[in-house]
Amino acid sequence: MRDLQEKVESDPVGRAAITGVIIFVLLTLLASNLSDSAIRSWLARLVEPVRNGLGLDQAWGVFAPDPRSTVYDLYGRIRYDDGTTEIWRWPKGDPFISEYRAYHWQKWAEQVRLDDNSDLWRPAAEWLARTHDRAGRHPTEITLVRRWYDLNAPGTHPSRGPWNSFEFFTLQVSPSLLASGAQT
């Protein structure tokens, strides 16, 4: 017995409809992967609503046009009401299974360190405050710190520069933030 898809594929009208789908997908591939050009812009305008709705938007510039030449790190410093401090780093774990969790945090850290993404700083600090709030030990100040060093070209000495560090956001934690839980 033939299923619905097989019936559609063997019917001339159905096959024409599938051909339309194929052509549309091919156009989305062109619109997403051509060089910046007039034809790419035109194609993108044409297919964008459906392409983005279907999740077919894509970019494959992996380590391109150049891999970055700066190593980044990010941590949060949590100061508590008992005077102690704690350093938070994103979960890394083992290099096998945990990697598949850690890379999500690495991608986020790559974004949140940027000045262009300053709208992410307060939510990050508030999330740190809420997740480190314990009975009898409450966060009073969260500081986000980015660290980095530059890589020198291969074959040169030294091969890298020194670590640099910059505190890029500080949040004074209010009791109402910890009490409310959800961000407003």
Partner 1 sequence: MKATARAWERFFFAPTSVATMVVVRIAFGLVALAWTASLAPDLASFFTRRGIVPVQPSNRFWIGVLSPSAPDWAVYLTWALLLVAAVCLTVGYRTRLSSVLVFVGIVSFERRNPLIFNAGDVLVRNLAFYVMLAPAGIALSVDAWRRTRAGFWTFAKRAPWALRLIQIQLSVVYASTVWAKVRGNDWNDGTAVSYALRLEDLARFRVPSFVATNLALSNLFTFGTLAIEASIAVLVWNRKARPWVLGAGVVMHLAIALNIMIGFFTMAMLAAYLSFVPPDAMERLIGRVRRRLDNARSKRQRGLVTATNPSG
For the segment 139-178, give every residue that binds partner 1 (CB under 8 A).
151, 153-155, 159-160
Indicate the helix (H) or strand (E) that contains 166.
Answer: strand 164-172
# residues near partner 1 by CB under 8 A = 71
Is 165 in a helix, a strand, or coil? strand
Where do we find the tokens 């790559």? 110
Residues 105-144 that bind partner 1 (CB under 8 A): 105-112, 120, 123-124, 127, 130-131
Residue 24 binds partner 1, judged by CB under 8 A: no
Compute, in degrees rounded to 10, the torsion defined by CA atoms 147, 173, 184, 52. Answer: 10
Query: Measured from the CB atom, is 38 or 60 closer to partner 1?
Result: 60
Residue 17 binds partner 1, judged by CB under 8 A: no
E strand residue ranges, 4-130: 70-80, 85-88
Looking at 38-46, 92-100, 136-144, 164-172, which segment touches partner 1 (CB under 8 A)? Answer: 92-100
**Pattern 37-66, binding to partner 1, x per CB under 8 A?**
-----------xxxxxxxxxxxxxxxxxxx
Shortest Å distance, C-beta 172 to partner 1: 19
* Alpha carbons 46 and 34: distance in angstroms, whole number: 14
Shortest Å distance, C-beta 83 to partner 1: 27
Residue 179 binds partner 1, judged by CB under 8 A: no
Among 91, 118, 137, 161, which residue sits at the site for partner 1 (rule: CB under 8 A)? 91
- Give buried/exposed letters for 137-149 (b at 16+ CB in 10 A, else e): eebbbbbbbbeee
Of 172, 178, 171, nearest to 136 by C-alpha is 178
